[in-house]
Amino acid sequence: MKNGATFRVIHTHNQSATMNMAMDKALAMSFKKEDKPILRFYTWENSFTVGVSQNTQDYTQTYNSFKGNCAKRMTGGGVLFHGHDLSYSLVLPTHFLENLSVKESYEKICSFLLFFYKSLNLEAMYAKDIKAINLSKSDFCQIGFEAYDIVIQGIKIGGNAQKRTKNMIFQHGSIPLYQTQRSKEFGNSLEDLDITLTYEEAIERLSEAFCQTFNAKLEESSLNEKEKEYLKKLLKESNDSTNN
């Protein structure tokens, strides 16, 4: 990761799954290699998302219980529940990580998350580095263990996923702050580790961890006109698809 860079930082709160995923895609797919990198923090309405190769309609009971508040991510993975979590997304020009493999780039980017957990006096590790954990996939994100899932005291806390194009590397991830439902599918949260944080406190700590890890500067921003037009197009496509 290129050190000392200035990132546009964008905050959006309590959005629907459709809006959040459309915004991620608008930021990523309208990105040009000469653009300033982007860090986004966002929260959700009660909703769920599925990986790019899944369909929300395949989870009828879940779809109905969330009243259709769901969307497809532009990355892989399984079903992930939202409304109790803080998410981040990053859009980087490819040259920021040009000498790193996909696996190495995960480890590099996620290092700011390890710094964040360390600031909470928690010892966080990647799942791949824990012998007792067998890496596995699941239809539900919080049940399986991917290599760069973060584990604390044997508990998986959130996950991360990536998408790449010629011009950019996109990564997003989710940190569950508290419990809304006790089930394997919903997974664990910081609350289970006796950590209580508001969304604002979590964003502040994550921002500090990001800046210290990468010697980065954050510049408050919002969607520019190009990104707004792309977002408008994606939302129209989503609405047309829903109505057909």
CATH of the domain at 40: 3.30.930.10
pLDDT at 40: 98
Residue % of the chain over a pLDDT of 70: 98
Nearest to 142 by CA among 215, 77, 239: 77
Q: Which domain holds residue 19?
A: 6-102+160-243
In a domain, 49, yes or no: yes
In a domain, 52, yes or no: yes
Q: Summarize pLDDT for 43-67 with one digit per residue, the tens.
A: 999 999 999 989 888 899 998 999 9
- Cβ of 13: how many Cβ atoms within 10 Å? 12
In a domain, 130, yes or no: no
In a domain, 199, yes or no: yes
The helices-and-strands tally (H runs, E runs) of the chain is: 5, 12
> Residue holding tokens 């899944």?
54
In a domain, 143, yes or no: no
Distance in angstroms (rounded) separating the CA atoms of residues 54 and 241: 16
Q: What is the pTM of this model?
A: 0.94
In a domain, 126, yes or no: no
In a domain, 47, yes or no: yes
pLDDT at 74: 95
In a domain, 42, yes or no: yes
Side by side, the strands of the sheet bearing 124-126 are 124-126, 150-152, 155-156
- Count how many domains the chain has: 1
